[in-house]
A and B are shown apart, each in its own frame.
Chain A
């Protein structure tokens, strides 16, 4: 069965870049333009991996990530953050939200700051999709 990858980014150029990178992998690619739309697609399509931007309209990747990792039946979906926002800021913002009464969330499974090298992105996707099983 084809693995499903949800790409969440408001920049059409980034979506095109990632989809063309992953084309050779025979993945089923789903696209969302913001956190709100992405959460609906996660619930509907149950992707095997979420590639997530942070700074987006409507709902940021920070809120969407929290929603994902604090929902029992979704929290095991691996999240690969691909964003211009630094990992340090991401972790600090999650810590602040936890401090103000939110639930603590784990670190994302992978984090690459834009612009990422195509090979690094591909390797990360393969690793997250096939960790614990033999790579196809």
Chain B
């Protein structure tokens, strides 16, 4: 699993050129092609009573994006990188899917798209919806964290959260592909209260030991690939424990596999992936399942 080509989706709000620059460490892991995508939401240029379709507004917005992309592209071209750009009118999610398929990218980078709680009851966040429809890993990049601190080396100290699922195995492969960029990794597995419900003390200890062993084996695998790694096993709320471990490890990013499946319950409470993408201060690299109906 390599990251050679990256789709950088920007609304020019959260993800600016500095945020893109912070990802250039990926060149050490083989990145050589960046594709920019700016989607002008249809309602910005839609038909209005008395004015009709705002063609001049579309031209203006496209030109503003074009000027920015030219400046960004010049910087990347001069480093010997390949670069492309799309500026399109439409709905964000279908456009991301179209361009990622057209270009055959290995990674999609987006900002976080928070939704009002009420809307999230009947519609998934675009990130979760994207993960449901793509097999491509999605990085929800957070360059400026809320305390005003800048995360300019997101791949330096990743925390891999695993539940031993097949998307998590893909996440491990991705972490291994980042070998030239990662300084030190941590891996965490969280046993939820549901996992231990009704188990005896002995059974809990057995479960703990089994997972500890798997974590150690995973660390051995990573170290065999040249990545220094530490393991962490916790019991509790998955999101909270991942966040806590990230803080203890001084993590620069969270990597997790995700099935992309959302239940009504998870929609109400927020799935772990969704909570990481929307609420964690750290960039979140979510790796979806390899098998999808919609590619």
Contact = CB atoms under 8 A, between A and B. Distances in A.
Interface of A: 34, 54-60, 62-63, 84-86, 89-90, 92-93, 96-97, 99-100
A30 to B, nearest CB: 21
Contacts of A62: 77, 82
B79 interface: yes
B35 A57 contact: yes
Contact of A55 (B70, B78, B79, B103): B70
Contacts of B83: 55, 60
B66 A57 contact: no
Interface string B191-208: 000000000000000000
Given A55-B69, A57-B35, A85-B73, A93 B78 contact: yes
Contact of B74 (A63, A89, A97): A89
A100 to B, nearest CB: 6
Nearest to A56: B84
B239 interface: no
| B interface: dominant SS | helix
B80 interface: yes
Interface residues of B, number: 19
B80 A93 contact: yes
Contacts of B78: 89, 92-93, 96
Contacts of B86: 57
B70 A58 contact: no
A84 B85 contact: no
B13 interface: no
B82 A63 contact: yes
Interface string B74-113: 1001111011111000000000000100110000000000
14 contacts: A54-B77, A55-B84, A57-B35, A57-B84, A58-B103, A59-B82, A63-B82, A84-B66, A85-B74, A85-B77, A89-B74, A89-B78, A99-B80, A100-B80
Contact of A84 (B70, B80, B82, B103): B70
Contact of B73 (A55, A58, A100): A55
Contacts of A100: 80
Contacts of A34: 84
A78 to B, nearest CB: 22
A116 to B, nearest CB: 15
Nearest to B69: A55
Contacts of B82: 59-60, 62-63
Contacts of A99: 80
A96 B27 CA distance: 15
Contacts of A96: 78-80
Nearest to B104: A58
